[in-house]
Structure 1
Amino acid sequence: MDVNAKSGKITDYEKEKIKTSSSKYIGEAKAKEIMLKNVPGAEIVKFKLDKDDTAEYEGELRKGNYEYEISVNAKSGKITEFEKEKVKTYSNKLIGETKAKEIMLKKVPGAKIVKFELDNDKTPEYEGELRKGNYEYEISVNAITG
């Protein structure tokens, strides 16, 4: 928008319509239902609506020793991506969330953990996002060795 400095009148402006047609989406509940129908007995461990290009619900599911990544078109409900991957299980060897958080807080005393998760893709790691003052820290802790 351009405004004349003397008169205060608008001399030029542009407007752009933003896509906000979320009311046409199938909804989170339906998307989760579609995902679970394709992997019965699985647990949804991550889920989000991605509106970058084509709006899609993205989910990460786990069942036994397998991890599934499924994307569902937010309007049509059709599956646009389906990946299945065998994952190693280390659950009996992990240091645990409490110990991992202690390690993170020792690295940044006085910080607050604002995000925390176990990343079990290759070597399992606890990933944390910490904040202290005006600083943000990202710390990964090996989930087996600490």
Structure 2
Amino acid sequence: MKFSKITQSALLASIIVAAPLAASADDLQLNQSVATTQSSISLADAMNLAKRHAQGTIANVSLDDSGVYDVTIFSKNYEHEVSVNARSGEILRTERSSLDRSDKRKLRALNSVKIKQNDAADRAVKAVGGGQAVEIEFDKERRLWVYDVKVVKNGQQYDVRINANTGAVLKQQIDY
């Protein structure tokens, strides 16, 4: 099959543009593993630094593949998003928006559960035999409040679900 110069150029350009967008789940997991090994700030440190800039209850924390912790904090009427550099601890960005009805329910639940984020992260790390917690999300699963925790250990990512009232490990699996 013979293509014109314009068609060949267009095909080459589309391959060059699309190649970086075709990242697989393995590539994303590898990027998060690299971000984890390059971070000197732990999940707990990021939470403490973020709370200095926004008072309230931490709902979620995640470490992205560029080495930034994104911390979500709920206060009485607001959701605060605080970004923390995982290497330096520098606060990169803070944003505030109004809580919606769903977020207010989640805040009430966060304030009433017995297990807090740091304890849930510690239990998840212990469940997989070590590593570093890089993400924690508070959510409702089948009428039960849980923490979904991602732990990176030896370059492998694990998903661990912790009961927010009892601290029991409900699920533990390797994230493929």
TM over 0.5: no
For the pair shown, the structure with the greater C-alpha radius of gyration is: 1
Bigger relative contact order, structure 1 or 2 (CA pairs below 8 A, ≥6 apart): 2
**Which structure: greater strand fraction?**
1
Q: Please give the TM-score of this superposition, normalised by the length of structure 2.
A: 0.37
**Which structure: greater helix fraction?**
2
